[in-house]
Amino acid sequence: RGQFSKSLENCREAALDFYERLRSDSRFITPFPPELDIVVWAPAARSVSEASALSRAIFDEAAKRNLHLALAELPAALFDLQSAGTEKDSETITCLRSALMKPEHKKWIGKMWRILDGVTKDVLQKHNNVK
């Protein structure tokens, strides 16, 4: 097997590892598993609009901690909102997105997860104290 193939395999493994961490954490909702290296998720919330606002807050705070994510606008219908207890008050949801396209991401997933975990705790705590 060639170097390029191994590189793609590492990216896919990193994405699947990250996806499984997100999927098994009740603070997040995931629409689908990654096809290759792109993972998409949103914070679980009472409504789609609240999840979108939390996504933007996590995005901003993560950047301050050197975890650079992206935002994506997806149809809310891609998510199992009913199981998450999320009211569909918008047709689209602002999600967080990570492209794990470097082979070394496989080694960084633990660190990325620790940063995301800390960011999410802080954002949710601030959000819950404001309400």
> pTM for the whole thing?
0.91
Reported as a single tens digit per residue, the pLDDT across 4-34 is: 767 678 788 999 999 999 999 999 999 999 9
Percent of the chain at pLDDT > 70 equals 95
**Quick one: tokens of 22?**
């997100």
pLDDT in tens, 76-89: 999 999 999 999 99
Q: Which residue has the higher pLDDT, 10 or 130?
A: 10
